């Protein structure tokens, strides 16, 4: 059961197309896993469609329809390549909006170990000022206590963790900013896989954390 969702204003911004790509990816991935949030998005999109239908139409070029129809007939190369490269284990865990950004199965991604706590692979997104990555955290791993210079968007894809007394599992969405100080602790029974989007570096707290902060980057 999904217990943690994006705030309504974030769902609204997603439905109206006003979110930057990395944040939209996180929200879209959650909505594909959560029927309640999908209904909220559908409602906003339906309202937008109704408003568009009331606007006076504008003339377009005579070739516009022909051009659009020709593009509809073109094969979706990226999607086909992704489908061929992934496997059932990956498609059972990774939500559909996220799959094209991987291009291959989870086991074949360029994972990079970060300390002894987790592995990470960066996603190739064009948005400047953002970092989007998959994090595969080891069972029982305790993340350093930290807050945020900007905002952190986290979607749990598998496994779970506890954070400030709350449990997060598959499909749960967490939004943390400078008003939060937290220390996620991964459940001990299995690894935890998350999609994490940052728009600024984390800010470690505590004596050791303050020494490391100048080296942190997005």
Residue ranges covered by each domain of the chain: 106-215
d(CA 11, CA 31): 9
Mean pLDDT over residues 102-123, rounded?
Answer: 92
Instruction: Please tell me the distance from the alpha carbon of residue 179 to that of residue 21, in angstroms, as a whole number.
Output: 24
Stretch 26-35: mean pLDDT: 98
- Band of residue 52 on the pLDDT scale cut at 50, 70, 90: very low
Which pLDDT score is estimated for 216? Answer: 46
pLDDT band with cut points at 50, 70 and 90 for residue 194: very high
Residue 139 has pLDDT above 80, yes or no: yes
User: Alpha-carbon distance 45 to 92, whole Å?
Assistant: 27
Phi, psi (rounded to 5 degrees) for 31: -60, -30
pLDDT value at 76 more than 70: no
What's the pLDDT score for residue 82? 54
Q: How confident is the model at residue 90 (pLDDT cuts 50, 70, 90)?
A: very high
CA distance 60 to 9: 34
C-alpha 98/C-alpha 56 separation (Å) is 36
Indicate the class that CATH gives domain 106-215. Answer: mainly beta
CA 30 from chain centre, in angstroms, equals 7
What contacts 179, CB < 8 A, 6 or more positions away?
A: none
CA–CA separation, 60 and 74 (whole Å): 22
CA contacts within 13 A on the Cβ side of 108 = 10
Question: Per-residue pLDDT for 53 more than 80?
Answer: no
- Gap between the Cα atoms of 193 and 67, Å rounded: 41
Q: How far apart are CA 39 and CA 152, in angstroms?
A: 24
Residue 6 and residue 19 in contact, taking contact as beta carbons nearer than 8 Å: no
CA atoms within 13 A on the CB side of 139: 4
Q: Is residue 154's pLDDT more than 70?
A: yes
Distance CA 127, CA 153 (A): 15
Confidence of residue 31 (pLDDT cuts 50, 70, 90): very high
pLDDT at 83: 52
């Amino acid at each position: 059961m999904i217990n943690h969702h994006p705030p309504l204003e974030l769902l609204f911004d997603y439905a109206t197309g006003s979110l930057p790509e990395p944040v939209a990816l996180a929200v879209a991935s959650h909505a594909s896993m959560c029927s309640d949030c999908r209904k909220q998005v559908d409602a906003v999109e339906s309202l937008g469609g109704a408003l568009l239908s009331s606007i006076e139409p504008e003339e377009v070029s005579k070739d516009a329809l022909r051009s659009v129809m020709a593009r509809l007939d073109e094969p979706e190369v990226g999607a086909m390549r992704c489908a061929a490269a992934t496997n059932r284990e990956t498609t059972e865990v990774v939500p559909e909006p996220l799959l094209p950004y991987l291009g291959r199965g989870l086991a074949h991604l360029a994972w990079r170990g970060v300390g002894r706590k987790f592995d990470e692979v960066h996603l190739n997104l064009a948005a400047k000022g953002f970092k989007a990555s998959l994090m595969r955290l080891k069972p029982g791993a305790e993340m350093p206590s930290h807050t945020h210079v900007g905002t952190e968007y986290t979607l749990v894809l598998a496994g779970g963790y506890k954070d400030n007394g709350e449990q997060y599992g598959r499909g749960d969405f967490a939004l943390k900013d400078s008003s939060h100080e937290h220390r996620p602790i991964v459940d001990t029974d299995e690894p935890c896989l998350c999609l994490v989007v940052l728009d600024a570096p984390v800010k470690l707290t505590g004596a050791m954390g303050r020494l490391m902060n100048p080296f942190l980057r997005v």
